[in-house]
Amino acid sequence: MTVDELKVGESAVITEVGGSGALRRHLLDMGLIPRTEIYIRRIAPMKDPIELTLRGYELTIRLEDAAKIKVRKADGNE
């Protein structure tokens, strides 16, 4: 499952950050690293962008980038 598949109010834990090169580095630099818990705060009407809460701050990412971040739901289901 990836971040773009989550719904507002759901929590998940990052398992893998995809992408390559500068994009992957950028995602990691923003704190999107494996074993980090995230919470889906808001999703724009057209599903892009997605606002997350992680590590005590809010982060907005594009739908395209969210599709590169694999997660497992907080209840343990992928």
Domain chopping of the chain, boundaries: 3-73
Q: Is 3-73 a domain of CATH 2.30.30.90? A: yes
Whole-number pLDDT of residue 13 = 97
Predicted confidence band of residue 76 (pLDDT cuts 50, 70, 90): low
- Cβ 53 vs Cβ 75: under 8 Å: no
Q: How far is it, in rounded angstroms, from Cα 44 to Cα 13?
A: 21
Beta strands in the chain (DSSP E): 11-17, 37-43, 50-54, 57-61, 69-73
Q: Is the pLDDT of residue 28 over 80?
A: yes
The pTM score is 0.88
Cross-strand bridge partners of residue 61: 50
Q: How far is it, in rounded angstroms, from Cα 78 to Cα 67?
A: 14
47-63 residue pLDDT tens: 899 999 999 999 999 99
